């Protein structure tokens, strides 16, 4: 699912998000002091089906993965021209398939668009 997540960011394909995230998954972040939460479908709708104009300048990497039985956590780092995004993914193996069940992230602006 982490590869699918990166692929979705590179291509803009919302179906990759749907395959990576469990249908009941949530995405959380803090905005102006408030916790914001989205479901998978709302998050997937952000992916418009084409790569970002600055895709060639974007870098993504897995910082770590820790697996214990059917539970895993991962930290992903996205270095984009305008921001650095750190995401912490919680994953579960459901019916033999790994799926992201929660994403919590923070974004640090590095330049304005």
Burial class of 44 by CB neighbour count within 10 A (0 to 12, 13 to 18, 19+): buried
pLDDT at 111: 60
Contacts of 83 (CB under 8 A, 6+ apart): 107, 108, 109, 110
What are the pLDDT digits (tens) for 28-86? 999 999 999 999 999 999 999 999 888 899 999 999 999 999 999 999 999 999 899 99
Mean pLDDT of 14-25: 97
Residue 110: pLDDT band (50, 70, 90) is confident
Provide Rg for the chain, Cα atoms: 14
Residue 95 backbone class (left: φ over 0; alpha: ψ -120 to 50; beta: rest): left
pLDDT at 112 over 60: no
pLDDT at 52: 86
């Amino acid at each position: 699912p982490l590869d699918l997540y990166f692929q979705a960011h590179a291509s803009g394909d919302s179906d990759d998000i749907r395959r990576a995230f469990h249908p009941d998954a949530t995405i959380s972040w803090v905005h102006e002091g408030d916790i914001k939460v989205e479901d998978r479908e709302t998050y997937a709708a952000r992916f418009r089906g084409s790569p970002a104009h600055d895709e060639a300048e974007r870098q993504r990497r897995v910082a770590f993965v820790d697996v214990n039985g059917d539970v895993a956590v991962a930290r992903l780092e996205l270095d984009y021209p305008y921001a650095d995004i750190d995401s912490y993914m919680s994953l579960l193996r459901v019916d033999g398939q790994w799926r992201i069940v929660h994403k919590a992230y923070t974004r640090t602006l590095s330049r304005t668009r």
